[in-house]
Amino acid sequence: MSIWTSYRLRLQRKRWKIRARRKGRELTAVQDRTEQIQPTDILLFCTFRNEDIRLPYFLNYYRALGVNHFILVDNNSDDGGQTYVAEQPDVSLWTTKAGYGDARYGVDWLTYLQGKYAHGHWTLTVDVDEFFVYPFCDTRPIRALADWLDASEVRSFGAMLLDVYPKGPVSAATYTRGQDPLKVANWFDSGNYIMTRNARLRNLWIQGGPRARMFFANKPKRAPALNKIPFVKWSRAYTYVSSTHMILPRGLNLVYDQQGGEKTSGVLLHAKFLNTFSGRASEEAHRAEHYGQGQEYKSYAARHGADPDLWCKWSEQYINWRQLEILGLMSKGNWA
Amino acid sequence: MTVGVVMLVHTAFDRAEQMIRHWVAGGCPVVVHVDKKVDAATYTRFVNALSNLEHVHFSERQRCEWGAWGLVAASQGAAKLMLDQFPDVRHVFLASGACLPLRPVSELCQYLDARPDTDFIESATTADVPWTVGGLDRERFTLRFPFSWKKNRRLFDRYVRLQQIVGFKRKIPDGVVPHMGSQWWCLTRTTLSAILNDPKRPEYDRYFHRVWIPDESYYQTLARIHARKIESRSLTLSKFDFQGKPHIFYDDHQELLMRSGSFVARKIWPQAELLFKTFPRKTEPARIMAEPNTSTIDRVFGKAVERRTRGRPGLYMQSRFPNMESENGFTAAPYTVLQGLDDVFPDFTSWLAKRTGAQVHGHLYAKDKAHFAGEETVFRGGISDGARLRDYNGRMFLTNLVWNGRERHQCFQFGPADTQDIRWMLAKDTNASVWVVSGAWAIPLFLSNRPASEVRAEASRLQRIEHKLLKVLRSPYARARINISTLADFVDAPMDILQTIIDEMAGHRATTLTEVPKMADLTRFAAFLQDLKNQGMHPFLTGDFAVDDAQGPKQPRSRKPYVVGKK
C-alpha cells in the first residue's frame, strides 16, 4: 500500500472530522448529563427516529451488559420516544431536524459527539434494532471484554450484523413496547455469508443472509453490507466511514486474521424484521434518506409488498452465543 | 515453620489488600512490593489500609517494566526483607496482587511442610521450551536489549536484527546454564539465601540486568546452581496465550478452578466477584495432601491457543479470512467432484447416493441454478440455489457448502456447460477429489438426435472448456486427488473407476459393486463422433471409439455384461 494512498486516506479522515464539526452545529442538546461520565465508563452512541416502541428494551439490554452512559441523537421523532429517553438517568440526548442522509446517515452527528465525549472510552455504536452479542456475554459484563481487549492491546472489535426474522410473514410478528424482540423474531441464516477484502480500507465486505437470499438474489452486488465494527476504544482522531461498517484509520478495520487463526469477534443481532417493518419500509422508501436513496427499502416494498416471509427450511433458531460460535458466525478466538 | 509471601503489586489495590489479608489470616507473613510508577497518594492510602496488620512489610520500591530488570530487583529486595524479618519462614512464595489462593493457606503450608527441602520453580533449558515470545529463546541470553519491546517494538526488532547480522554475542558468566520458566516460584530459605548471598551475585546481577525478560530466567537459572531438590513446576496456576500474555480467570471459570486443585491461580479479573467470594475454599480433610491436577484447564486454554493460531479449517468468517491461495486446503472436509459420469449413466446421482450414503448433488454450478440434492431450493446454512447469487462469489459458494454440509461427504456433478469460476480452486484444494470422464459431454449431444452439423459448434465449445479444465488439473500447482480418463477408456471398464469412487466416498462402509448403473444407450455413438469429425470438429477428448460402428447401422450390439469377479 503506497504512502500516497495512506496520505489520501488521512486527508479523507480529516475532511470528515471537519464535516462532522460543521454538522455538529445542527444538534441541540436536550438533556446533557455528560458530566456524569467517569474516565473508565463504557459509552453507547446511537441515532434514532420514531423508535419509541423499541427504546425501553434497547436501553435495558445494554444496561444489563454494563454500558454506563448513553449518548443519543434524536432525528426529529414525533412519537414521544425522545421525551422517554430524556428522562432516563444515564442518557444524554441531542436532537436535530436536519436530514439523516445529509449527515452521512447520522455518522457525522455521532462523529462530532464521539470526538467530544468518547476520547479514551470504550465506545459502542449501534442502532436501536441491533443487539450486541460477544463471547461469554451471558457470564461476563462488557467491562470484562473491554479490559481484556485493553490487555491484548486491541483497539477495535468486530461484530457482524446477523439478521433475525420470524417464522411466517413479518407482519404477524407483533412486537409490544418493552418486549425482547428475540422472543418474536429469532430465526437466522447460519451459513450463506460471502466476503471479500476491501484493499483500500482493509476491511472485509460481508454480504449474504436472508436479505441477499430473498431480496437481492438477482442483484447480489446490491445486497446490504453486514460487516460491522461497533466496539472501539475511541480516540478523537477516529471516524466511521459508512455507518459502522468501516472506520478510519484503517488499521482498526483489521478485526480478522489472515493467517488462518480466528480473532475474537461478536455478532450484532439485527431485529429489524418485526411487524413494525412494513410501515417503516414504505415510509423510508418514500423518505429516501437511507443508503443509496433507500434502495434497500424500495426493494422490499416492491417485491413483497413489504410483508415477506424470510423463513426457510434451514433457518436456525437462536439460542445463545455459544450456538453462534459453533456455527462459525463468531469466535471466542483467544479469549477463554 | 511457615510460608512467607512476597507480593508484587502495581494495580487493583483493593483486591491486593484483600489477598494480603487472606495470607496473613492464614498465618503467612507478607512482604509487599509496590511498583514505583504508582503515585504517592495511592501508595500511602494502600499502606495505611494495611497498617493494622502486624506481619506485613513494604519493601523498597522499584520501577517495574514488563521484560526488564526492575521486576527481579523488586523481588530480590522483598525476599531479602522477608528472610531478615521473619526467621521462621522456610518457604518463600512469590505472588502478585492478581494471584488468588484457591485452597486454604493452611493446606499450602502442610503441603510444603511435607516437602521441606523442595524448591518449586519451573526451570527448563532454552532448547526444550516452545513457549518463547518473539522467537527469542537462546538469544535472550546472548544479545543486548536496551529498547523496550512494548514501547519501541521497531527499535527493539532492528537492534536485535543488527546484532544477529554482526554476530554479536554476550559472554554468559562461568557456571551459568540459562534456564527459563514461569516467574511465579516458591523457594526454600536455603536456596533463596544462597542465591541472594552468593559472592558472585554482583556479576550475575550485572549479567541478568541486560537479559530480556529476566524475571523468567534469573531465579530459574540460579536455582539450578544452588538448589538441592528442584520440582520443575510452578505452584501457581497460570496459563499463557499465544503471545505470552497471561490468560485471565472470570466467574465462569469457577468450576474449572475448583477442580484444578491448584493452590494459587492468576490472573483473576479484579471484578470477578464470585471467584473472590468462593476462594479460598474451606479446608477439606480428604483433600489436604492432594496434588494439583490441571489437565482440564490445560485443555481449555490449549484450545484457545489453537483456535487463535490455526482456527477451524475451511471456515471463512468475519474474524477468520485467510488468504485462500496460501491456506492448506480451502475447505472444511473432503468432497468429490464428478465430471461426465452423469452423462454416461442417466440415473447416476440417485444411484451413487444410495450406494455411498453421501450427499450427492446435481450440477451445483449449472447456468440455470444450483441443483442441490433432491432438487431443494435451499441448502444447509440457507444457501440459495440462485445462479446469480452463487456466481457472485463462486468460490465461497463452495466453501460455504462444504462447511455447512461437513457432517456428510459432499459430492457434486460438474461439466463444461457449468460456470467455471472454481476451476483453479478444485485443482488446488487438497480436500477435493476430482474425477473426470473427458468427452462425456458428447453423449447428451448424441442423444439429442440432432444432426452433427447442428451440434458441431456446441461440441466444439464444450470441448474447449473441458480442455481448459484438464490443463488446470494437470498443472504443477494442482494438489487435489485427480483422476482423468477418456470416455472410451471409461466405457470400456467402468467398474474399476466406480468402485474406487465409492470406496473413497463411503470409506469403510463401502461394499463391492455387483451391478453397474444403467448406461446411456451408445449404439451408433461412434458414428456420431465420426460425423462430427466429418464436419471438421475433432472430438479428441472422448478417446478412440471403435470405428466399425461408424460403418453404418448394424444390428444393435448387445452390451457386454460387466461381470465382477470376487474382490
For residue range A248-259, list pLDDT tens digits in order.
999 999 999 998
* Alpha-helical segments (H) within chain A: 3-24, 55-65, 81-86, 107-117, 142-151, 181-184, 209-214, 276-287, 291-304, 321-327
If you measure CA to CA, which chain B residue comes closest to A217?
B389
Share of chain B above pLDDT 90, in %: 69
Chains A, B: CB pairs < 8 Å = 171
Chain A residues with CB under 8 Å of B381 CB are 189-192, 314
| Interface contact B309-A261, CB threshold 8 A | yes
pLDDT at B556 exceeding the cut of 60: no
pLDDT at B564 exceeding the cut of 90: no
Out of A204, A315, A328, whose CB is closest to B321?
A: A204
pLDDT of residue B562: 61
| Interface contact A336-B300, CB threshold 8 A | yes
pLDDT of residue B213: 86
Angle at Cα A325 formed by Cα A321 and Cα A331, nearest 5°?
Answer: 110
Strand partners, B369: B386
Helix (H, G, I), strand (E, B) or coil at B535: coil
The burial of B33, by beta-carbon neighbours within 10 Å (0-12 exposed, 13-18 middle, 19 or more buried), is given as: buried
The DSSP output letter for B60 is: P
Q: Which residue has the cell 527459563?
A: B180
Specify whether the CB–CB gap between B330 and B314 falls below 8 A: yes
Please state whether beta strands A316-317 and B335-339 pair in parallel, antiparallel, or not at all (unpaired): unpaired
Q: Per-residue pLDDT averaged across B492-507, rounded? A: 91
Does B241 reach chain A within 8 Å, measured CB to CB?
A: yes
Does B298 reach chain A within 8 Å, measured CB to CB?
A: no
Specify whether the CB–CB gap between B230 and B119 falls below 8 A: yes
Output the tens digit of pLDDT for each of chain A's 336 residues: 578 888 999 999 999 999 999 999 999 999 999 999 999 999 999 999 999 999 999 999 999 999 999 999 999 999 999 999 999 999 999 999 998 888 888 999 999 999 999 999 999 999 999 999 999 999 999 999 999 999 999 999 999 999 999 999 998 999 999 999 999 999 999 999 999 999 999 999 999 999 999 999 999 999 999 999 999 999 999 999 988 999 999 999 999 999 889 999 999 999 999 998 877 777 776 776 666 656 666 666 666 555 789 999 999 999 999 999 999 999 999 998
Cβ–Cβ contacts within 10 Å for residue B283, how many? 13
Out of B252, B316, B378, whose CB is closest to A195?
A: B316
Q: Which residue has the cell 505472588?
A: B95
- Alpha-carbon gap, residue B201 to B224, rounded angstroms: 14
| Interface contact A204-B305, CB threshold 8 A | no
Q: How confident is the model at residue B147 (pLDDT cuts 50, 70, 90)?
A: confident
Out of A191, A204, A219, whose CB is closest to B403?
A: A191
What residue ranges in A76-144 does DSSP mark as E strands?
91-96, 122-125, 130-133
- Chain A neighbours among B 363-392 (CB < 8 Å)? 376, 378-384, 386, 388-389, 392
pLDDT of residue A288: 67
Does B393 reach chain A within 8 Å, measured CB to CB?
A: yes
| Interface contact B307-A330, CB threshold 8 A | no
Please state whether beta strands B56-58 and B179-180 pair in parallel, antiparallel, or not at all (unpaired): unpaired
Specify whether the CB–CB gap between A51 and A130 falls below 8 A: no
Does B421 reach chain A within 8 Å, measured CB to CB?
A: no
A82-96, B171-185, B423-437, range with the lowest pLDDT: B171-185
Q: Is A164 left (phi over 0), alpha (psi -120 to 50) or beta?
A: beta
- Alpha-carbon gap, residue A297 to A105, rounded angstroms: 14
pLDDT of residue A111: 95
> Which residues, other chains included, contact A143 with Cβ-Cβ below 8 Å and sequence gap of 6+?
A42, A66, B271
CA-based R_g, chain B, Å: 36
Higher per-residue pLDDT: A168 or B561: A168
- Alpha-carbon gap, residue B214 to B178, rounded angstroms: 11
Residue-wise burial string across B511-541, b where 16 or more C-beta atoms lie within 10 A, e elsewhere: eebeebbebbebebbbbbbbbbeebebebeb
Specify whether the CB–CB gap between B443 and B417 falls below 8 A: no
| Interface contact A152-B245, CB threshold 8 A | yes
- Amino acid found at A111: T
pLDDT at B293 exceeding the cut of 90: no
Chain A residues with CB under 8 Å of B252 CB are 136, 139-140
pLDDT at B555 exceeding the cut of 60: no
- Amino acid found at B477: Y
Min Cα separation B352/chain A (Å): 24
Angle at Cα A169 formed by Cα A167 and Cα A173, nearest 5°?
Answer: 70
If you measure CA to CA, which chain B residue comes closest to A256?
B319
- Alpha-carbon gap, residue B183 to B216, rounded angstroms: 5
Helix (H, G, I), strand (E, B) or coil at B250: coil
For residue range B232-258, list pLDDT tens digits in order.
999 999 888 888 788 999 999 999 998
Q: How confident is the model at residue B553 (pLDDT cuts 50, 70, 90)?
A: very low
The three cell numbers locating residue B563: 461381470
